[in-house]
Structure 1
Amino acid sequence: MAVFGYELLFRDSEIDRASFSDGDQATAEVILNTFMDIGLEQVVGQDLAFINFGRNLIMANYCESLPRERVVFELLENIEPDESLLKRLRQLKNAGYRIALDDFVCADPFYRLLETVQFVKLDVLANDQQTIERSVATLKKFPLQLIAEKVETREQLRLCQDLGFDYFQGYFFCRPQLVASRRLPVNRLSAIRLITKLNNPDIKMKELEEALSQDVSLSYKLLRYVNSAVCGLNHEVESIRHAVVLVGLERMRIWASLILFSGLDDKPRDVIVTGAVRARMCEKLAESLKMERPDRFFLVGLFSVLDAIFDRPLEEIVKTLPLAPEAADGLLRHEGQLGSVLRCSMAFERKDWREAQNSVPLNLETIAQIYQQAMTWSLRSLSAFSEARSA
């Protein structure tokens, strides 16, 4: 027998069981550690990486940033097989991605998924022989490969071989191996100053180089980002300037924002999500309203949680930053275009529909759609671009 692939799971301590209640965040940790810190080759060699995906991550466009020839999206057994999910899975399949269905059960709703997947896993420990035989007979009618999961004895292996399984997984072959990574902390103030510079339309390359060079952790994380499979840039980097040119200012802006948030181990996760959602929502509201330079609105939304990050009044923090007067007014007093958009975002966040609608000339349905898009973007971006948790 030869190794075909590895299933990658998140563990937050040295125990042989999962202990992460947030499935999406656990998947994000796996991806960040594998692709941006340890390295895919060091984890799985030349074999496939099977990674668990819940509905939110599958539906996010972020999936396409992962290398199709190296990963298998493993759908969790509790995923709801509705039309929107099926459409998304067909899209991924047509793009060349491979999909596995975990813990398959013979039930009508799940048959619809079989046309979109290449692998199906059956738990041979949880099912009796009759159930396994019936499931295999059904699945053999489809052009897919079967994986026997939780094979723990030689007898189970022989049974699965006789039934025609293609691949086998379980403690009989090997117990899970823990692979750890170490994080490099980021100076929050350095990240904030870099974000401010990136939102200046007149920024000079030399200023960016200086901002990055002043914090070794930022420089390190930028180079890790450039060389990651998530970024998709297959280049050797000659200098900080070269790295910035390769990434581009727009991706640099997102990257720096997420670096700031993803290192907040001493802050509630809500702070991270709130900042990212407000930033994106403000930007998209500005675009819908045809306002100039929507990136300015991203900055105001992002910086609206700085008081929670630093445990200091927002007014004190703003005084230390080179912000334009209209940005400062928007942040502190919710005045002007920047302030009204931020006010709308914060009102919708706390379910004050009247205030949200009174803040901007958009109907509530449009605002709600933008909020949902911002939530999806935040999840995708925090997962795909922030390597601070794994560096």
Structure 2
Amino acid sequence: MNPVESPAYLARQPILDSHQGIFAYELLFRDSPDNRAVIHNGVRETAQVLENVLNNIGLARLVGNHKAFINCSRQMLLDGIFGPLDSDRFVLEILESVSAEKDIVEIVKKYHARGFEFALDDVVFEPENLKRLEEFFPYIKYVKLDLIENSPEALKAAVPYFKERGMMLLAEKVETEEEFKERLSEGYDLFQGFFFAQPEIVRGKRIDGSLAFILHLLQFLRGEPSFTDIEKVFSEQEALSKSLVQYANSQKSYRRRPIETVQDAIAWLGIPQIRDWLMLLLYAQPEMGGRAQGTALFQNVSQRACFVEALAEDIDAEGPLSAQAFITAIISRMDALVKAPMPTILEDLKVDKEITQALLHGSGKLGTLLALAEAVENDRQERVGTLMKRLSLSNENLVKALNAAYGNSHG
């Protein structure tokens, strides 16, 4: 970068799926760290975003293993600045100001042939505007509809129109839970807006030691340790020990006297209940954004963890796979709550190498189990079959795991 230029900052805003898990990030230019955008020259701004992504900050730190949406003006397409990008990772978002002129459509077609996905930004669902854009339609994967610029009737009518053309719908500027639920019920796939998260300037974010310890404890308890071993581990964390005793006393069960020691609390509660308590504790941590444990996301995490754990037990009954699978599933949705990229989270948690590889690259049996859980959640039957075959699992295994995960309210 030229020394006389001021540095380019970078903001990102999450794009969430129907479970409020992170699907992608939109990367946005910011010319100061106070999170205000002053756009002078769209091509230069986007080029600076890309320079920051590729050279200075790094794509993995910014978006983990998710996709990155990048704004894309007419001039940017003509200038061909997206050539160096990884087509598997970047989605090119065609701005509302771009019309489907013949030369622009040809460029989009070439990028599409290279494997790039395209999104249409700020679509206003009315006939004249659709006619202006329809030449782009064969190359578009995502359509972003602004909740402010479109009427409720238009937002509803857009769903069958675009779904019939094989596109996913993304609701932009979702500002309330009511708006989120309404669009979700209408069939929207993805969501973005201040209700979930404002664009944030990217800074390093550390995970608190207690959160890492809770994860360590959860994995430790999966190994069926003795009560003596559990007590020893709890004794390393005085605050957590006190919390466990308080929790044991809060349970409405008949006891002759209050529980005063960690030993008594462990004996009274038993390992399954301690695990449930730790899960609740995990999602009550300040790093988790203060979300209530009753959210759909928390339920999804619990169910996913039980599902992959049950399958892992069928694959490797004696080994560590089931314990690893359980923790992998828990961490897999953590970026949505912590709002930090997965590589940063993993660096702080210091988990097993196999777990790290599964979460970052989808590799190994753990990565395949996680992919299977996602396929089940998204009702992708063909992919479910493929992944089960890869893991040598039967329909019977699948049914048992589904019952373990969804037949119970907790794991």
With normalisation by structure 2, the TM-score equals: 0.42
Query: Using CA pairs below 8 Å that are at least 6 residues apart, which structure has the higher relative contact order?
Result: 1
With normalisation by structure 1, the TM-score equals: 0.45
From the two aligned structures, give the one with the greater strand fraction.
2
